Copies of this chain bind each other. A is one copy, B any other.
Amino acid sequence: MIKQKIYGLIEKGSHGSKLNLRFDYVVMILIVLNIIAMILETIPNINDPLDHFFRIFEIASIIFFSIEYILRIYVSNLTHPSSNRIKSALKFIFSAYGLIDLFAIAPFYLPFIIKIDLRFIRILRIFRFMRILKINRYSNSINIIWTVIKEKKSELAITGFITILVLLTSSFLMYYIEGKAQPNKFPNIISSLWWAVATLTTVGYGDVYPVTGLGKFISALIAICGIGLVALPTGIISSGFMKKINKPNTSTNKCPHCGKEIS
């Protein structure tokens, strides 16, 4: 059956078939070329002489991705089995991968319907890359990383919560301290927050920095907090990875009382 073959070509490969793997590589290369084209288009020196070529390449890509999208809908009753065809198609269309595939082509068709420039949405095409994660070798690793982050969710949330507390408190203080000395740098608390993030993450662009003694003192405290901001999540994640290694076979436990999963 042709449907089976199409299915084998565009979907099954992630679990072994060489033909599909080759198809996947073709898609990957096409996406890489698309991204390179999108980058080069923004450089006038390169875009001006090659404008015509970029347009043709874009249209060719869209045709390819559109056909692939239609084929994926066509085989959706195999990939997303359900009671009837339409349900399967909808299941695929509204799945994470389905939406990514749609966003990769939609920016081209939409301007025909409504008058808006959505060309920058084309970047979402990059997320089509995430299909790569389904390849066995990587899917295992992404699973480990994902499980670790999920298991440490609430510890990481607490770190995030403390970070927000520190950011907001220091922004308020800084606004009242530096606002008078540098009214153009700290005109409001939003600007103050920008300074707080740049300091806590130790980026330190140097566009905004305190000049008063007290301001510098608070800035120094925040910068030192920034080290804790790195140390805490790193420690949490490290211990998560370690746990995975020490007992990799014991999967998710369930609470004997309510039956929900416990990390």
Contacts and interface: CB of A to CB of B under 8 A. Distances in A.
Interface string A233-249: 11111111111111000
A239 B213 CA distance: 37
A24 to B, nearest CB: 15
Interface stretch (A13-21, A87-95, A103-111, A155-163): A155-163
Contacts of A258: 255, 257-258, 260
Stoichiometry (number of copies): 4
Nearest to A258: B258
Interface stretch (A1-9, A38-46, A65-73): A38-46
B245 A243 contact: yes
A193 B42 CA distance: 12
B197 A220 contact: yes
A165 interface: yes
A181 B23 CA distance: 42
A13 to B, nearest CB: 18
Interface string A204-242: 111101000100100010011011111111111111111
A262 interface: yes
A126 interface: yes
Interface string A122-157: 010011011011000110111011001000001101
A129 B165 contact: yes
Contacts of A198: 204, 220, 223
B237 A237 contact: no
B216 A126 contact: no
Contacts of A257: 255, 258, 260, 262
Interface stretch (A51-59, A76-84, A167-175): A167-175
B190 A39 contact: yes
A44 B157 CA distance: 34
Given A201-B202, A203-B226, A38 B189 contact: yes
Interface in A166-190: 168-169, 172-173, 175-176, 187-190
A205 B201 contact: no
Nearest to A123: B172
A49 interface: no
B232 A230 contact: no
- Closest CB pairs A-B (n = 4): A239-B241, A235-B237, A206-B206, A203-B204
7 contacts: A129-B165, A141-B157, A148-B235, A201-B226, A238-B241, A238-B242, A239-B241
